[in-house]
Amino acid sequence: MDWSNVALGIQTALTPTNLLFCFIGCVLGTAIGVLPGIGPTATIALLLPITFNFEPVSSIIMLAGIYYGAQYGGSTTAILLNLPGETSAAVTAIDGYQMARLGQAGKALATAAIGSFFAGTVATVVLAAFAPPLADAALKFGPSEYFSLVVLGLVASIALASGSMWKALAMIVLGLLLGMVGQDVETGLPRFAFGARELYGGLNFVSLAVGMFGVAEILRNLQTGIHRPSMVGEVKDLRLNRQDLRQIAGPIGRGTLLGSALGILPGGGHVLASFTAYSMEKRLSKHPERFGKGAIEGVAAPESANNAAAQTSFIPLLTLGLPAHPVMALLIGAFIIQGITPGPNVISDEPVLFWGLIASMWVGNLMLVLLNLPLIGVWVKLLSIPYRILFPAIIAFSTIGCYSLGLNTYHVFAIAFFAVLGYVLIRLGCEPAPLLLGFVLGPLLEENFRRAMTISKGDATVLLTRPISLTMLIIAALLLFAAVAPSIRKKREVVFAEDE
Amino acid sequence: MSRLSRDDLLAGGIFLAFGLAFALTSATYDIGSLLRMGPGYFPMVLGIILSAFGVAIILTAVLKAVRGHPATAGLDEGGIPWVRGALVLAAIMLFGFMVAPLGLVPALLVATFLAALAGHGTSPLGAAVISVGLTVLCIVIFVVILQLKLPLFPTGG
């Protein structure tokens, strides 16, 4: 690790402006993590157009803060209300909520905070240590390697997801195709624009994200209504005694390691991480029967794992320009809005951005601990904001935000289109995340394929004869096979069934 | 033979339709060859793949029904919120139509009013209150704090 870069990062993260943006991100993130009905994906999508007016470093720091802040907020409601604001917090709810019912809510919250903070710190170091060499390796990639890498990323993202494999694959391809709308990069010919000049620039990424993750979600909630469970007891005594600390040290350490490793995987790495950490602790425990009845290890392990994974999932984004999940796909959008192409060049071309972001993550984790524990009552109060006020506000923010991007009313109409499409597809059992990843990666996939074919003089076997490219395609094929194979498939269903 | 999953059939049908639409439209562009790919090549291939996935989803659903597996349920149960949904979509569309000619304030008032009306148990009066409140909030956030240069009222042009 180059220490001058670390110093540069700390310097960047500690400027008053960036501290403020980090703070705003953490506060917003915690808030939306607490609130059901709006997640980090929709929030970041809503804020993307606004970030256009800020410095690149500040805006990325803020958006990242929203993401990991939401993980903290999600576990708060998981523990206090058995209401995981985030999928990855679902595992925390199992034992955390039981602890709260036994009057140990304070202990559970403190454990979650300490675990998350420790994991966040370690994962930040992992990120700083592993990202630069990985980016160096990726710099040597040619178009065929890049094409295979994107294919691998797309396949891996669904191999870990839940639900029907065919549907997830179809969603990816539909996303890729929607990403082709607009002028062809090489010939300038407008494709699938049907004569509408407004579509020449392509479908708007923000409209798609806001429509599919924000408004479609509102439509679903209007159908069922949102139920607000009441809180169990009061939060008192956040202190942990020596025995508690001894009990959670191991789970936090193991959870952190596991989370750091799994976070790098594309797809729901952090969801998988918290579940795996939980079942590992249960297996290692001398008293597995305590799990599910308020075991403190059952909070410590998944919380550390999911926060570590949240942090390390930045690695594929910052080194390869490959998003591991929808939030990272949105950050790609944020980079592009700022005129930065995400990829292996980011670390060397934008050292201030890269190291500043990493340092800010650690600062942000510290802020979250300080913000969350003493102010827990304030966060829970947020739940009293009625949904019937919240969702019109989401609509207002989405429409203004999308319109402000180039004052193009097509972007506003596109929200409605994607909201309907998203709602219908979600209702039919198709998750929207793969579509978003496909949409973001579509142009990259096509460009690299065309370039690879030009270089190889139209010989498609080049993808199989270059060793790195071949390896990645083989891994992709294995993943796909593993996901479809009946025996593994069953196991996967069990994992996700328990997860829900 | 058990019941066919209507959700799977519909999903497959939608993917098949999108796939065919993209593939057929691509056919009107220059396809080219692997060496010199035209703008139609890549989307054409993807369109065909998407159609194939659509067919695969339909076939899987049929196979499942023939073998007597229970139909997979969608993520959501319950009726479609037609009226509430229409209000939300109308709010978005009307904002789009109104914002350029009339400015931010009228567009926001109408959009938030319609959206708020879609809420469970919100009366028209309640919706009007929410609408005024949110409009003020949005103006403060976007125009005062973030300094977006958006006209608030009809510019008279």
Domain ranges for chain B? 6-67, 82-145
Pairs of CB atoms within 8 A across A/B: 212
Report ipTM for this prediction. Answer: 0.93
- Mean pLDDT for back-to-back runs of 10 residues, chain A (500 residues): 83 94 94 80 86 89 92 86 76 90 89 93 92 89 91 81 82 95 86 82 88 90 70 69 90 94 75 86 89 91 92 90 87 88 89 94 92 82 84 92 86 95 92 90 90 89 90 90 65 48
Residues on chain A touching B44 (C-beta within 8 angstroms): none
Cα B148 from Cα B133, distance rounded (Å)? 19
Cα A125 from Cα A258, distance rounded (Å)? 15
42-71 of B, contacting A, C-beta below 8 A: 42-43, 46-47, 49-50, 53-54, 56-57, 60
Q: Single out the residue of A191, A282, A302, A300 nearest to residue A244, CA to CA.
A: A300
Chain-chain contact of A215 with B130 (C-beta, under 8 angstroms): no
CA distance B8 to chain A (A): 7
| Chain centroid offset of residue A408 CA | 28
Residues on chain B touching A449 (C-beta within 8 angstroms): 37, 42
Chain-chain contact of B39 with A187 (C-beta, under 8 angstroms): yes
The whole-number pLDDT of residue A326 equals 85
Chain-chain contact of A225 with B42 (C-beta, under 8 angstroms): no
Average pLDDT over residues B103-110: 95
**Between A105-139 and A56-81, two packed helices, what is the crossing angle to 10 degrees?**
140
Structural domain count, chain A: 1
Chain-chain contact of A427 with B74 (C-beta, under 8 angstroms): yes
The yes-or-no verdict on residue B91 having pLDDT over 60 is yes
Chain-chain contact of A223 with B78 (C-beta, under 8 angstroms): yes
Query: CB burial class (10 A; 0-12, 13-18, 19+) of residue A240?
Result: middle
Q: How many CB atoms lie within 10 A of CB B98?
A: 20
Q: Indicate the SS3 state at residue B32.
A: strand
Chain-chain contact of B104 with A400 (C-beta, under 8 angstroms): yes
Query: CB burial class (10 A; 0-12, 13-18, 19+) of residue B121?
Result: exposed
Q: Single out the residue of A266, A224, A274, A234 nearest to residue A86, CA to CA.
A: A274
Q: Tell me the β-bridge partners of B37.
A: B32
| Chain centroid offset of residue A27 CA | 17
Contact A267, A436 (CB under 8 A): no
Query: Of the candidates B14, B60, B147, which has its C-beta nearest A166's C-beta?
Result: B60
pLDDT tens for each residue of B41-71: 999 999 999 999 999 999 989 988 888 766 5
Residues on chain A touching B150 (C-beta within 8 angstroms): 400, 403-404, 407
Residues on chain B touching A167 (C-beta within 8 angstroms): 11, 57
Domain hosting A105: range is 3-499
CA distance A450 to chain B (A): 7
Non-local (6+) Cβ contacts of A125 within 8 A are: none
Residues on chain B touching A387 (C-beta within 8 angstroms): 119-120
Non-local (6+) Cβ contacts of A411 within 8 A are: A204, A206, A207, A402, A403, A405
| Chain centroid offset of residue A114 CA | 21
Closest-approach residue (CA) in chain A for B24: A192
99-138 of B, contacting A, C-beta below 8 A: 99-100, 104, 107-108, 111-112, 115-116, 118-122, 126, 130-131, 133-135, 137-138
Query: Of the candidates A174, A176, A396, which has its C-beta nearest B134's C-beta?
Result: A396
Cα A313 from Cα A316, distance rounded (Å)? 6
Q: Indicate the SS3 state at residue A89.
A: helix
Q: Indicate the SS3 state at residue A294.
A: coil
Residues on chain A touching B134 (C-beta within 8 angstroms): 389, 392-393, 396
Closest-approach residue (CA) in chain B for A429: B74
The whole-number pLDDT of residue B75 equals 47
Which of the residues A162, A204, A222 would you substitute to probe the B interface, choosing the one with the greatest number of B C-beta atoms within 10 Å?
Answer: A222
Chain-chain contact of B53 with A169 (C-beta, under 8 angstroms): yes
Cα A357 from Cα A349, distance rounded (Å)? 14
B27 vs A: CB within 8 A = no
Q: Single out the residue of A118, A61, A119 nearest to residue A356, CA to CA.
A: A61
Chain-chain contact of B42 with A186 (C-beta, under 8 angstroms): no
Cα A410 from Cα A412, distance rounded (Å)? 5
Cα A341 from Cα A335, distance rounded (Å)? 6
pTM: 0.89
Chain-chain contact of A166 with B57 (C-beta, under 8 angstroms): yes
B16 vs A: CB within 8 A = no
CA distance B66 to chain A (A): 18
